[in-house]
Amino acid sequence: MSAADNWTPSSWRSKPAAQDVVYPDRAKLDKVLTKLRTLPPLVTPSEIERLRHQLAQVQRNEAFLLHAGDCAESFDACTHENISNKIGLILSFSLILIWGARLPIVRIGRIAGQYAKPRSSATEIIGDREVLSFRGDNVNGLDPNDRTPDPERLLSAYFHSTTTLNYIRALLTSGFASLHHPRDWSLSHVRSPALRAEFERVTEGLSDALDFTRTIGVGRQTASYEEGGPRGALGEVDFYTSHEGLMLEVEEAMTRAFPVPSSFASLATPLVTPAHSRAASPSGTGAGAKAPRVHYNTSAHFIWIGDRTRQLDGAHVEYFRGIRNPIGVKVGPSMKSEELVRLLDVVNADREDGKVTLITRYGAGKVEQFLGDHIDAVKKSGHPVTWICDPMHGNTLTSSSGLKTRNFGTIISEITSCLRVHAEHGSRLGGVSLEFTGELSDDGFSVTECLGGSMELSEEQLGLRYQSFCDPRLNFEQSLDVAFLVSNHLKQ
Ligand code: PEP
Ligand code: MN
């Protein structure tokens, strides 16, 4: 079955949707969705195609993927400082990786739309009351008195996403990513002199290398396939956005039919758009009136299916199989090898390169048990995939004080086990998926949510600056520690 068969942006509605949100006011929801359908795309087909192309490079081991950001964004955290600190951290991390891997890094942020959260339980007990669980800022409020799902929050999420993305675009087209100014990336609060010195050594080395390349007249390697000149997607470096594709009503409303931009058309499998779709073609997409159209999710460049919503006969898999965007699939210990291959048959029926990234998240102690079999089964099936390691979600624990945390050592252990098992099975780790934050507390210190790292954060210190309202994130210093460790591994 090809991706276009019997698929429409709303065909998921006939299947059971796990983690469904029940809105008491359906009419209000419909009004919001109608409005969302008319609002402009956040990202363009050219940018999405460009990412697919770069993910195909990752798949061929010609680049390495960094997928990172918050577990969940919040509307209140949509500030100048938080956005620039997060982008600065992603850029710093990727420079350290470039240094070790000697490969281009594809950067995808969990940003500009990562609001909705799956929950293991629909309700929770707070005090002596049972209330609906918090499902993310685009659904309900963290305040236990504000847990009724409100459709207006979906509109607010759209506008917070556009504001975030607008600021990212502005930063990246204004020299923020320039290697000549990496100090703009807020390294000033990194207290460890050793970590700062190590980072400065990397940036100075890369800066010299770049100057040398310019002097001898070698252009940007990426310029050959991009549209519109020698810039990356979103500015002077490539940067892409992503979120978990959980709220299918919104994903559907942001799904639009466009022709594949002419410069990428030769790479695309022609999929004829069903007759019901009559979306106008935006200028700049290279549209000919008769060109075949495909469906793009225009709310982000990349979206992923969570570990709780990947049922083969479920609504999420149905929605994901028809969109042209590159997608991620979370793979946890409950995934059977045969189920994984069947899932790939559905979401990538045409076996396109750069389409599927498998994001493994077993838990450090379970990599050995599951990853090898998964690699072997996918290899045998012939499906093209990129494997990346999420060392966060299988390693969450509750500290003695009751705070949700993760241990730096365990995170590193999951990454190193993945690197080893891939090598043993003739495969390669193509990237990492992390929850980290450059966010600072009001008094200018890094957050204290994960244990360990070079700053040796202890259980007693966890409560000092714990700001996450969702999963615990690595702070700036701990993230650089991870970057150096991964970078050194890639060097070998
Ligand atoms: C997440 O990435 O925040 C998440 C909930 O992951 P998973 O679906 O792997 O549990
Ligand atoms: Mn998370």
Residue 204: CB atoms within 10 Å: 12
> For the chain, what percent of residues have pLDDT higher than 70?
86
Ligand 1: residue of 242, 361, 366 to mutate (most ligand atoms within 8 A of CB) is 361
Does pLDDT of 273 surpass 50?
Answer: no
Which range, 289-298, 302-311, 430-439, 475-484, is most confident?
302-311
Does pLDDT of 298 surpass 90?
Answer: yes
Spatial distance between the Cα atoms of 236 and 389, rounded to a whole number of angstroms: 27
Ligand 1 nearest-atom number relative to CA 332: 9
Does pLDDT of 223 surpass 50?
Answer: no
Tokens of 433: 């998926």
Does pLDDT of 15 surpass 90?
Answer: yes
Q: Please check whether residue 55 is in contact with residue 385, taking contact to mean a CB–CB distance below 8 angstroms.
A: no
ipTM: 0.99
Q: Ligand 2 centre and the CA of 164: distance in Å?
A: 20
Does pLDDT of 228 surpass 50?
Answer: no
The residue whose CA is least distant from atom 10 of ligand 1 is 307
Q: Is the CB of 118 under 6 A from ligand 1?
A: yes
What residues sit around ligand 2, an ion, with C-beta below 5 angstroms? 71, 471
pLDDT score of 203: 78
Spatial distance between the Cα atoms of 378 and 167, rounded to a whole number of angstroms: 39
| Residue 189, marked binder | no
Q: Is the CB of 71 under 6 A from ligand 1?
A: yes
Spatial distance between the Cα atoms of 248 and 301, rounded to a whole number of angstroms: 16
Which range, 76-90, 372-386, 461-475, is most confident?
372-386
Q: Is the CB of 292 under 6 A from ligand 1?
A: no
Spatial distance between the Cα atoms of 451 and 68, rounded to a whole number of angstroms: 19
* SS3 per-residue string spanning 371-417: HHHHHHHHHHHCCCCEEEECCCCCCCEECCCCCEECEHHHHHHHHHH
Residue 276 pLDDT level (bands cut at 50, 70, 90):
very low
Residue 286 pLDDT level (bands cut at 50, 70, 90):
very low
Chain position carrying tokens 């043993």:
424
Q: Is 344 exposed, middle or buried (0-12, 13-18, 19+ CB in 10 A)?
A: buried
Does pLDDT of 29 surpass 70?
Answer: yes
pTM of the predicted structure, to 2 decimals: 0.91
| Residue 473, marked binder | no
Average pLDDT value over all residues in the chain: 88
Closest CA to 238 of 428, 433, 48: 48
Tokens of 452: 């360990």
pLDDT score of 226: 37
Q: What is the radius of gyration, based on Cα positions, of the chain?
A: 22
Q: Is the CB of 393 under 6 A from ligand 1?
A: yes
Q: Region 350-371: what's the mean pLDDT? A: 98
Q: Ligand 1 centre and the CA of 207: distance in Å?
A: 36
pLDDT score of 4: 62
Q: Region 462-487: what's the mean pLDDT? A: 91
pLDDT score of 60: 97
Chain position carrying tokens 């500009």:
112
Q: Region 427-432: what's the mean pLDDT? A: 97
Tokens of 166: 């607008």
Ligand 1 nearest-atom number relative to CA 309: 8
pLDDT score of 329: 98
pLDDT in tens, 126-151: 999 999 999 999 999 999 999 999 99
| Residue 227, marked binder | no
Rounded to the nearest 10°, the torsion over CA 257, 310, 108, 383 is -80
| Residue 81, marked binder | no
Residue 233 pLDDT level (bands cut at 50, 70, 90):
low
Q: Region 34-59: what's the mean pLDDT? A: 97
